[in-house]
């Protein structure tokens, strides 16, 4: 690593910081109402909306973690992309169109409206807070690794720098900033991959050459390192989790209409396909080029720093920096909204002025950016394993109450609360039992099954929601299921 | 070729390996540990060549120097002899644990991975892990690698094509459906 390269790296990171803070300042006035700060005034069109959905999903778990996963396990993990897309189709069919009937800003708003319960809202907000703190820590950890290796920074300082960038533009411009930085992320990722992937293939060889080298290194790399059982469990956790992910729901609330939302999901597929192929080829070709990295998560930093020509490497590294700071921003905004909007305003200060609400949101962003820093400093696991674990927790407590609540009239407040508590508890218990498939079930599968069982059993035994509420959610499709 | 490693002490035997390519020859390999030449046993399995030394190690660190001559075929890709396990650094710095240098008999250029030009016939770089090959310009076209029989790619080609095919079909199909839906659906 030459001094000039290091200087260039910090110059482009500095320029990026100035740019995102500029975006934040530009949107500061527009984000002066709660709806502006948390839902961009419901103004996003299909392309920026698609970039926003993609930018939320394609986190450090993809550009750092998935490249590392492909590096150590080969092609099999790539099958999670189409499997995860099934979750997006579930979102397009069963979640996005109906959830927009609630004039809400956050996912817990849906819980309060559908189940007529601030308890349901509070529990959902609390669980989101916990799970997203873990997920945000993975973004900070990836940033710490990248800045540590490429920039020569101490890991703890690097984590603080990444947290600082993420917090700065989020606290200024809220969802508006997230949407525009999401578009910037899409452009940078696609541009850097469009340049660097062909260059890598030109030098490492064709897919056939890569396959021959990988087969010689370890035949499992070109076959099924992960079995179908594992891939389906991981994809179910991520895909179904995404269908009800609070940051994606916030993005859905930010779009102009239901049709816009469906189109945005389609454009997000397009972005994801390009990035998925790029991530796969980066991981595989890095394994061929440098087979014994000290840690798989270093594949992207080393690719940018030591393999690609300097200017191209800097572009790939900048795209990675944008990736984890942007997804970090979306997660931070969701965590902050859970605290400021769902707990502080809705439970304790319902009469708060717009100014107080926005101030509370900004203070929550500042406060809750610190918690994941503490987790990231511990480096519990590989980045992608942390993301997967958080996704499993998320799907276990959110999927059933949201999807069933939107599509089954008989779902009740008590059923939803029991479903969330049962799903979360089961997934946690399964995770700590030690065996990956205790009783033949992955922790997410066990969580969803218990969550579903609790929802149906408890809902049957308790009184349904009022007719007015049910009409709001089911008016145009008649009665579904028994009353 | 010359590789200089600075590693944390370890009781594990030193094992180096290289993934060979058609028309490339690796000769005269010399390995020194802390200034002492090692007599290593060479073994071949498929495309892999391994060199193994089982002498017990001591001291605060291992300084390993690996030198060898390599003769190129038509591809321009030169395999690098590398340790068969991830490198354990012996210091807290963020620097890489290995310096790889390529010296040409005449003038030459390393195109992959990124290396610094030290003199008209020498290129080098420091890495956190050893690359498995370098690509150099001015390869000797003495061997027609293009005509070699294809090796076993483990099914990567059809798996990759299937994955890309699913993605390419999925996006327009979904968008066509989404465009047809109205705002009330």
Higher pLDDT, A132 or A386: A132
Say if residue B90's pLDDT is above 60: no
Give the residues across from B41 on adjacent strands. B52
The edge-to-edge listing of strands for the beta sheet with B82-83 is B41-45, B48-53, B14-19, B82-83
B164: contact with A, CB 8 A cutoff: yes
Contact across the interface for B130 and A292, Cβ inside 8 Å: yes
pLDDT of residue B100: 92
Residue A382's pLDDT band (cuts 50, 70, 90)? low
| 3 state DSSP class of B41 | strand
- Residue A285 is predicted with a pLDDT of 95
Determine, for residues B153 and A222 on separate chains, whether the beta-carbon distance falls below 8 Å.
Answer: yes
Tens of pLDDT, residues A440-471: 788 888 999 999 999 999 999 999 999 988 88
CB-based contact A145:A293 (threshold 8 Å):
no
Tens digits of residue pLDDT in A202-220: 999 899 999 999 999 999 9
ipTM: 0.82
pLDDT at residue A427 is higher than 80 = yes
Collect all residues with Cβ–Cβ distance below 8 Å to A219 and sequence separation of at least 6: B154
Q: What pLDDT score was predicted for residue A385?
A: 76
Alpha-carbon B101 to chain mean position: 13
Rounded to the nearest angstrom, the minimum Cα separation between A250 and chain B is 19
Pairwise CA distance, residues A120 & A288, whole Å? 50
Please give, one letter per residue, the 3-state secondary structure of A194-263.
HHHHHHHHHHHCCHHHHHHHHHHHCHHHHCCCCCHHHHHHHHHHHHHHHHCCHHHHHHHHCECCHHHHHH
Answer yes or no: is pLDDT of A103 > 80: no
The whole model's pTM is what? Answer: 0.84
- Nearest one of A269, A227, A222 to A89, comparing CA atoms: A269
Minimal CA separation from A197 to chain B, in Å: 14
What average pLDDT does this structure show over A395-411? Answer: 93
A223-231: which pairs have CB atoms within 8 A and are 24 or more residues apart? A223/A74, A223/A76, A223/B154, A223/B155, A224/A76, A225/A73, A225/A74, A225/A76, A225/A77, A226/A73, A226/A76, A226/A77, A229/A437, A230/A442, A231/A76, A231/A77, A231/A79, A231/A80, A231/A83
Asked if A211's CB is within 8 angstroms of B153's CB, the reply is: yes
B82/A2 CB distance under 8 A: no
Domains of chain B (ranges; CATH) run 2-145 (2.60.40)
How far is residue A403's CA from residue A237's CA, in Å, rounded to a whole number?
14
Report the C-alpha gap between A377 and A141 in whole angstroms: 7
pLDDT of B147: 52
Give helix then strand counts, H and E, for chain A: 22, 0
Share of chain A above pLDDT 70, in %: 96
B13-26 mean pLDDT: 84
pLDDT band, residue A478 (cuts 50/70/90): very low
pLDDT-based confidence at B148, cuts 50/70/90? low
CA distance B129 to chain A (A): 5
Q: What pLDDT, on the 0 to 100 scale, is given for residue B185?
A: 45
The whole-number average pLDDT for the span A245-267 is 87
Nearest CA-CA distance, residue A450 and chain B, Å: 31
Q: Which domains does chain A have, with CATH numbers?
A: 3-392 (1.20.1730.10)
Q: Which of B156, B167, B181 is closest, CB to CB, to A211? A: B156
Residue of B nearest to A85 (CA): B170
Q: What is the mean pLDDT of residues A357-371?
A: 85
> B134 contacts in A (CB within 8 Å)?
none
């Amino acid at each position: 690593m030459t001094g000039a390269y290091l200087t260039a790296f910090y110059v482009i990171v500095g320029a990026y910081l100035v740019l995102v803070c500029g975006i934040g300042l530009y949107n500061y006035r527009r984000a002066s109402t709660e709806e502006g700060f948390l839902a961009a005034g419901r103004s996003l069109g299909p392309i920026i909306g698609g970039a926003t959905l993609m930018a939320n999903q394609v986190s450090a778990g993809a550009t750092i973690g998935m490249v590392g996963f492909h590096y150590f396990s080969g092609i099999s993990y790539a099958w999670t992309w189409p499997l995860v897309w099934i979750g997006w189709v579930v979102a397009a069919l069963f979640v996005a169109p109906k959830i927009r009937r609630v004039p809400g800003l956050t996912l817990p708003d849906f819980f309060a409206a559908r189940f007529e319960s601030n308890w349901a809202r509070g529990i959902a907000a609390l669980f989101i807070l916990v799970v997203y703190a873990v997920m945000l820590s993975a973004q900070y950890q990836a940033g710490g690794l990248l800045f540590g290796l490429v920039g020569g920074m101490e890991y703890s300082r690097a984590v603080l720098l990444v947290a600082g960038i993420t917090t700065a533009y989020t606290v200024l411009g809220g969802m508006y900033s997230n949407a525009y930085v999401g578009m910037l992320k899409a452009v940078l990722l696609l541009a850097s991959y469009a340049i660097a992937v062909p260059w890598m293939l030109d030098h490492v060889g064709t897919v056939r050459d890569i396959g021959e080298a990988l087969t010689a290194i370890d035949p499992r790399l070109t076959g099924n390192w992960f079995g179908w059982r594992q891939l389906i469990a991981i994809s179910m956790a991520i895909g179904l989790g995404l269908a009800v992910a609070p940051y994606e729901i916030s993005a859905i609330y930010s779009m102009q209409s239901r049709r816009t939302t469906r189109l945005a999901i389609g454009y997000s597929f397009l972005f994801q396909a390009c990035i998925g192929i790029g991530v796969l080829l980066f991981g595989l070709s890095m394994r061929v080029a440098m087979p014994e990295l000290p840690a798989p998560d270093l594949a992207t930093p080393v690719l940018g720093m030591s393999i690609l020509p300097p200017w191209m490497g800097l572009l790939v590294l900048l795209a990675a920096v944008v990736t984890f700071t942007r997804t970090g921003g979306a997660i931070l905004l969701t965590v902050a909204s859970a605290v400021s909007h769902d707990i502080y305003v809705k439970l304790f200060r319902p009469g708060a002025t717009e100014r107080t609400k926005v101030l509370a949101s900004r203070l929550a962003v500042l406060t809750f950016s610190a918690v994941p820093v503490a987790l990231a400093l511990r480096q519990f696991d590989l980045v992608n394993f942390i993301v997967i674990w958080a996704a499993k927790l998320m799907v276990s407590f959110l999927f059933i109450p949201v999807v069933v609540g939107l599509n089954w009239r008989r779902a009740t407040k008590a059923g939803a609360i029991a479903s969330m508590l049962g799903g979360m508890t089961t997934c946690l218990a399964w995770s700590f039992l030690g065996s990956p498939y205790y009783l033949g079930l992955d922790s997410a599968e066990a969580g969803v099954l218990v969550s579903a069982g609790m929802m149906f059993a408890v809902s049957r035994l308790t009184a349904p929601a009022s007719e007015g509420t049910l009409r709001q959610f089911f008016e145009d499709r008649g009665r579904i299921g028994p009353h | 070729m010359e590789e200089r490693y600075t590693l944390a002490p370890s009781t594990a035997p030193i094992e180096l390996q290289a993934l060979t390519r058609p028309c490339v020859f690796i000769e005269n390999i010399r390995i020194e540990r802390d200034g002492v030449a090692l007599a290593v046993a060479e073994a071949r399995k498929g495309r892999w060549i391994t060199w193994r030394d089982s002498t017990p190690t001591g001291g605060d660190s291992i300084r390993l120097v690996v030198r060898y001559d390599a003769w190129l075929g038509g591809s321009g890709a030169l395999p690098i002899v590398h340790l068969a396990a991830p490198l354990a650094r012996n210091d807290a710095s963020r620097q890489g644990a290995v310096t790889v240098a390529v010296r040409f008999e005449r003038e030459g250029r390393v195109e992959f991975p990124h290396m610094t030009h030290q003199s008209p016939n020498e290129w080098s770089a420091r890495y956190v892990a050893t690359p498995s090959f370098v690509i150099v310009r001015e390869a000797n076209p003495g061997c027609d690698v293009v005509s070699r029989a294809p090796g076993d790619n483990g099914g990567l080609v059809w798996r990759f094509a299937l994955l890309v095919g699913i993605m390419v079909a999925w996006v327009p199909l979904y968008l066509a459906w989404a465009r047809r839906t109205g705002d009330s659906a």
